[in-house]
Chains A and B, each alone.
Chain A
Amino acid sequence: MDGVENKTAVIVGGTGEIGKAISLGFADGGAKVAVCDTDQKQVDSIVEAIKGKGGKAFGLAVDPAKPEAVKAAVSKIKAEFGSIDILVNNVDDSEGFEIADVSDDRWSNSVNKNLNSVLYFCREIIPGMRENKYGRVVNITDIDYLGWRKGKVNCSATKAAIFGLTRSLALEGAHDNVTTNCLIKGETAGSDLSDDERAKMASRTPVKRLGTPEDIVRTVGFFASQKAKYITGQMLFVCGGKSLYSSMAF
């Protein structure tokens, strides 16, 4: 990752397979990384990994769905690193259900994780970016926002909301050099998949392979860099061409 050296990057959802790769990617690029996630042990593990390689990192166990907790976390990050230059929203709740099975709790869980967490972190961080006349916000959503698979009602709705949020934030920050973009990830080869499942999913993708965390990291890195200063409000599919199967994916 280049173009992020000495910048402060907040990675929300920074410890899962993709989140970890993003956190380490920014650290490799010389950024100061604030790793935020719910599990203290996992957060500590990523922070230690970064520090072990000589990088700068600060970890926070925080429930991103609780506005007061987010507010407190952002204050601590600012106290540790000063101003915040980059925000990556990577919280992902992809457990989907058909409408009859979307209980109030399941709906609240999806709204809290996929949408509210983005809103809360953006609300705490973007005003400071605008004052500083510099900011890069990257929201990560999922290709299932297209609503093209059954049993994903709660996911599709909350993932799609990121579309409107990203574009609105882009307009607000445009004059202040604060860009907001969205990466729409396709199917990635998580460790939870069997070889057969991977092969089947890959065969249904135009490039005949599944995505990797590295595919996501490099695109996040590009959006977060100075090289992407004239790109804002955009939705970029990193999906091996699978979006081509949808008439809604432009």
Chain B
Amino acid sequence: MSIKNRVALITGSGSGIGKQTALRMAESGAKVVINDLVTDKVDATVKEFKAMGLDVIGKPADICDKTSVDNMIKETVDTFGSIDILVNNAGMEYAGALRKLSERDFDVTINVNLKGTFLCCQAAHNYMVKNSHGRIVNIASRAWLGGPGQAPYTSAKAGMVGLTRGLALELGGKGITSNCIAPGLIHTPLWEELPEKNQKFLLSKQPTGQLGEVDDLAYAIMFLADDDSSFITGQIFYVCGGRSLFSG
């Protein structure tokens, strides 16, 4: 397996899953671009990784803004010479009963998850096509299958699945693969904030009875981002401890 010397941009990598993926990729010899909306998170992550001797740079940017995204991708190529791997990991959710959701809740959720992914793919693919090589990995969610109280998020994540499949067909002949990861329950800071009764309920629905770790996702992302994964495209890869097997 190899991603050595490949240039990887991971959105939302100032914390959580994105940060761990950035760490594992950089440890494997990739040149990694840390992106987040929050500049302080980018700076802290870059400082931490550079102290470990890893080859990283930081690019704070709002992925919902086309100009910011275009600049971020251009600066990535200016610094590292190419963009080979794009991991669209940045995401957020406004949840609630349909009657309580505002138009803004829907728009923001769609913009960050779906439009942001679209803009990053659009900007990056221009450079990938030139090199006849690219790996796009979109972090969707098992929630794309539908969840009560998750209308905006489900819509956005289902949109990401459609985008992934469409790009796989469009870019497949140009050396670019496009795949989705659909994570299930993962042990992140957000999990720790949940009330205990919610945690117990969610774990009771988990075939493995356990949470996933951020490394479980990082390794799956790296598998799809690898040079040797050129025959896998347009797929939704569930990393969920078997949760996708249950209907209820």
Instruction: Please report the C-alpha to C-alpha distance between residue A240 and residue B234 in the assembled complex, in whole angstroms.
Output: 8
Q: Any chain B CB within 8 A of the CB of A229?
A: yes
Set of chain A residues within 8 Å of B54, measured between Cβ atoms: none
Q: Any chain B CB within 8 A of the CB of A171?
A: yes
Contact A240 B207 (CB under 8 A): no
Which residue of chain A has the shortest Cβ distance to B171 in the bound complex? A206
Set of chain A residues within 8 Å of B38, measured between Cβ atoms: none
Q: Any chain A CB within 8 A of the CB of B237?
A: yes
Instruction: Please report the C-alpha to C-alpha distance between residue A207 and residue B132 in the assembled complex, in whole angstroms.
Output: 12
Q: Any chain B CB within 8 A of the CB of A239?
A: yes
Set of chain A residues within 8 Å of B238, measured between Cβ atoms: 231, 233-234
Contact A207 B230 (CB under 8 A): yes
Instruction: Please report the C-alpha to C-alpha distance between residue A215 and residue B231 in the assembled complex, in whole angstroms.
Output: 7
Set of chain A residues within 8 Å of B209, measured between Cβ atoms: 174-175
Q: How far is the CB of B6 from chain A (nearest CB, A)?
A: 16
Q: A206-B168, A236-B237 are in contact. Are A222 and B173 (CB under 8 A)?
A: no
Q: A212-B231, A233-B207, A237-B235 are in contact. Are A170 and B173 (CB under 8 A)?
A: no
Q: Any chain B CB within 8 A of the CB of A76?
A: no
Instruction: Please report the C-alpha to C-alpha distance between residue A241 and residue B171 in the assembled complex, in whole angstroms.
Output: 10
Q: A207-B173, A207-B230, A238-B232 are in contact. Are A230 and B237 (CB under 8 A)?
A: no
Q: A231-B220, A232-B208, A240-B172 are in contact. Are A250 and B236 (CB under 8 A)?
A: yes
Interface size class of B (residues with CB under 8 A): 35 or more
Instruction: Please report the C-alpha to C-alpha distance between residue A206 and residue B229 in the assembled complex, in whole angstroms.
Output: 14
Set of chain B residues within 8 Å of A250, measured between Cβ atoms: 236
Contact A232 B231 (CB under 8 A): no
Contact B235 A236 (CB under 8 A): yes
Set of chain A residues within 8 Å of B230, measured between Cβ atoms: 207, 215
Number of interface residues of A (CB under 8 A): 37
Instruction: Give the A-B contact count at a CB cut-off of 8 A.
Output: 107
Contact flags (1/0) for B213-248 with A, using CB distance below 8 Å?
101100110010010111111111111111011000
Q: How far is the CB of A202 from chain B (nearest CB, A)?
A: 10
Q: How far is the CB of A173 from chain B (nearest CB, A)?
A: 9
Contact A241 B172 (CB under 8 A): yes
Set of chain A residues within 8 Å of B169, measured between Cβ atoms: 206, 241, 244
Instruction: Please report the C-alpha to C-alpha distance between residue A211 and residue B173 in the assembled complex, in whole angstroms.
Output: 14
Instruction: Please report the C-alpha to C-alpha distance between residue A14 and residue B7 in the assembled complex, in whole angstroms.
Output: 37
Instruction: Please report the C-alpha to C-alpha distance between residue A208 and residue B239 in the assembled complex, in whole angstroms.
Output: 28
Contact B207 A236 (CB under 8 A): no
Interface residues of A in 1-53 (CB under 8 A from B): 2
Which residue of chain A has the shortest Cβ distance to B178 in the bound complex? A241
Contact A175 B168 (CB under 8 A): no
Q: Any chain B CB within 8 A of the CB of A218?
A: yes
Q: How far is the CB of B219 from chain A (nearest CB, A)?
A: 4
Contact flags (1/0) for A219-250 with B, using CB distance below 8 Å?
10010000111111110111111011000001
Residues of A bordering B, CB below 8 Å: 2, 167, 170-171, 174-175, 177, 186, 205-209, 211-212, 214-215, 218-219, 222, 227-234, 236-241, 243-244, 250
